[in-house]
Chain A
């Protein structure tokens, strides 16, 4: 960690918070505090400078206009690039995932991304809306991904990133793979409060940020029930 407390930055909630994105900051902060870590959550609006010294940066979902504006301001600010160079963790969701790549489409125009992940996004023929599930890259040692997706993009991964998961339900990047990761940067189409349904993914980000190999287990009663219920719903929809 960079200081006495774990610093989490929620990037541009005024632009990139379409639907429940706050949940990821809340869940990370709570799971860290339950392990006795002091936590500081900073909400940095798009007219403010981005601090380059935080441990975890969260980039949420957004409509086309705010997504393009958010990418422009992050490029002009440069703080996120400095943070990544210093080894900070970045978690991007939906529009926030796309803008970490080299390019994406917003309002029919190709926009320059932050080039932090080797991927590019364009438009699919139809919007992907519904449950998203997948088997996560075994090297990350996580249980299956579960989420809800709502996006019109299709994302093509370059050789320098690995898919986060192999899709078992829904579309994700292209119907076969979902999300991407490299180093301590990770993105997913599982939108909004993705970490609510994937507490193990939240813990992965916390481990990356703290360097801890293991974190003390927490009571997962309700998230286990939620995950099981969603898994059954996806299976029932397929049957």
Chain B
């Protein structure tokens, strides 16, 4: 590593330690930010010599990154940005902190995928899904698919592991090659993780025609784009690998969506030569991820935290949650997006019959939404009020980003 990069890396680690010591954060961003100021190529220097996997998509990145790290860990030490700090400063910080490791698995914010592909020259990139998320500041969904596709055209040597169930992902993962110039399209391994959310993919990203669906199949009515045959498939409580062998997956994380994340992790690890039979038991060691799915016992209540940031992830959260009293909390601060319109893209009907409590900065937006949805609810001002309002036993908490962090803080920043 050049001297400048060594200095930058060392300063980066020190800043992260100071940030943690000062109680200002977990240090996963600030260290990398300072390091990148000293050496803008620090991320590339820190990536050199490591076999790297990138994980990107609208939903499930943090959890899939954690599961993939566990799976790749079969081979040796893995550096990872496990606190969800998923922009280049977070990657830099994670790699600097980990020191020399043969492997790295990095969660990447979907907007930064092109830049991080460039800097880290990964062996594998996993593309999970694309759906509407914070449209008041994020790129429109079709535009994001276009950016991914353009980035992959420049990196046709990378191995792609992509979701066959998401038309936008399939299109992004299959840019045309240029045989005249000897450029082949990237090699893609397809997984099927299911997709509950369809409302961002009724229009073909290639030709603008309508996309038809029947069961798990989908196809464009105007061009050849259609669901590729997946190599990795979730089946019952396990995963079918490309050889047709079925592996039982015992996770401590709830929901079908996490079985899909496990299938993705096994598929990515396989690109490094990890056999699923060796990796599958390691997936069960993952309990919670930066507070997501964490369970806390307090005042006789078993509180479980579920993060839901956008319509697609709310649908998954309802699937994961038990039939138990449920607290919903909504904020609309900068990290959440300032616009609450997405509440009408979520059907809250699955909550009918459960005791529903609402709170958060934007509880009234939620109140009007639930009223229209015929879901009875009770408004509470504080988390303690919520606890007092439910009987002993399970309390499911579903919250969007900053609301989730607020409740995590009430529970001593549970991870």
B106 to chain A, nearest CB (A): 30
A227 to chain B, nearest CB (A): 9
Q: Which of B143, B344, B364, B373 contacts A222 (CB 8 A)?
A: B364
Contact present for A225 and B364 (CB under 8 Å): yes
Residue count of chain B within 8 Å CB distance of chain A = 29
Q: Judge whether B297 is part of the interface by a CB distance below 8 angstroms.
A: no
Q: Which of B135, B203, B221, B345 contacts A22 (CB 8 A)?
A: B345
Which of A63-71, A97-105, A181-189, A203-211 lies at the interface with chain B? A63-71
Q: Which of A47, A65, A130, A229 contacts B364 (CB 8 A)?
A: A229
**A 222-239 binary contact with B (CB < 8 Å = 1; else 0):** 110110010000000000
Contact present for B142 and A21 (CB under 8 Å): no
B120 to chain A, nearest CB (A): 31
What residues of B have a CB within 8 angstroms of the CB of A222 in the complex? 364, 367-368, 371
Contact present for A27 and B372 (CB under 8 Å): yes
What residues of B have a CB within 8 angstroms of the CB of A20 in the complex? 341-345
What residues of A have a CB within 8 angstroms of the CB of B342 in the complex? 19-20
CA–CA, A18 to B139, complex, Å? 12
What residues of A have a CB within 8 angstroms of the CB of B298 in the complex? none
CA–CA, A45 to B136, complex, Å? 25
Contact present for A148 and B203 (CB under 8 Å): no
Q: Judge whether A140 is part of the interface by a CB distance below 8 angstroms.
A: no
Nearest B residue (CB) for A69: B208
What residues of A have a CB within 8 angstroms of the CB of B203 in the complex? 14-15, 65-66, 69
Contact present for B199 and A17 (CB under 8 Å): yes
Q: Judge whether A158 is part of the interface by a CB distance below 8 angstroms.
A: no
Q: Judge whether A82 is part of the interface by a CB distance below 8 angstroms.
A: no
Q: Judge whether B339 is part of the interface by a CB distance below 8 angstroms.
A: yes
Contact present for A65 and B142 (CB under 8 Å): yes
A189 to chain B, nearest CB (A): 13
Taking CB atoms and an 8 Å cut-off, the chain B residues in 308-359 that contact chain A are: 338-345
Q: Judge whether B369 is part of the interface by a CB distance below 8 angstroms.
A: yes
Q: Which of A19, A192, A226 has the most CB of B within 10 A?
A: A19
Nearest B residue (CB) for A31: B372
What residues of A have a CB within 8 angstroms of the CB of B340 in the complex? 148
What residues of A have a CB within 8 angstroms of the CB of B368 in the complex? 196-197, 222-223, 226
Q: Judge whether B210 is part of the interface by a CB distance below 8 angstroms.
A: yes
Q: Judge whether A129 is part of the interface by a CB distance below 8 angstroms.
A: yes
**A 29-51 binary contact with B (CB < 8 Å = 1; else 0):** 01000000000000001110000
Contact present for B372 and A46 (CB under 8 Å): no
Q: Judge whether A176 is part of the interface by a CB distance below 8 angstroms.
A: no
Q: Judge whether A23 is part of the interface by a CB distance below 8 angstroms.
A: yes
What residues of B have a CB within 8 angstroms of the CB of A21 in the complex? 344
A197 to chain B, nearest CB (A): 8
What residues of B have a CB within 8 angstroms of the CB of A197 in the complex? 368
Q: Judge whether B187 is part of the interface by a CB distance below 8 angstroms.
A: no
CA–CA, A197 to B369, complex, Å? 10
What residues of A have a CB within 8 angstroms of the CB of B229 in the complex? none
CA–CA, A154 to B135, complex, Å? 19
What residues of A have a CB within 8 angstroms of the CB of B210 in the complex? 14, 45-47
CA–CA, A171 to B210, complex, Å? 34
Q: Judge whether B140 is part of the interface by a CB distance below 8 angstroms.
A: yes
Q: Judge whether A134 is part of the interface by a CB distance below 8 angstroms.
A: no
What residues of A have a CB within 8 angstroms of the CB of B372 in the complex? 23, 26-27, 30, 196
A residues with CB within 8 A of B: 14-15, 17-23, 26-27, 30, 45-47, 63, 65-66, 69, 129-130, 148, 150, 191-193, 196-197, 222-223, 225-226, 229
Minimum-distance CB pairs A-B, first 8: A192-B341, A23-B344, A20-B344, A20-B341, A14-B202, A226-B364, A222-B367, A19-B341
Given contacts A23-B369, A26-B372, A129-B136, 14 further A-B contacts (CB under 8 A): A14-B203, A17-B199, A19-B132, A19-B341, A19-B342, A23-B372, A27-B372, A45-B202, A65-B142, A69-B208, A129-B338, A148-B341, A196-B372, A225-B367
24 contacts between A and B (CB under 8 A): A14-B202, A15-B203, A18-B135, A19-B341, A22-B345, A23-B341, A23-B344, A27-B372, A30-B372, A46-B210, A47-B221, A65-B203, A66-B203, A69-B203, A148-B339, A150-B136, A192-B339, A192-B344, A193-B341, A196-B368, A196-B369, A225-B364, A226-B367, A229-B364
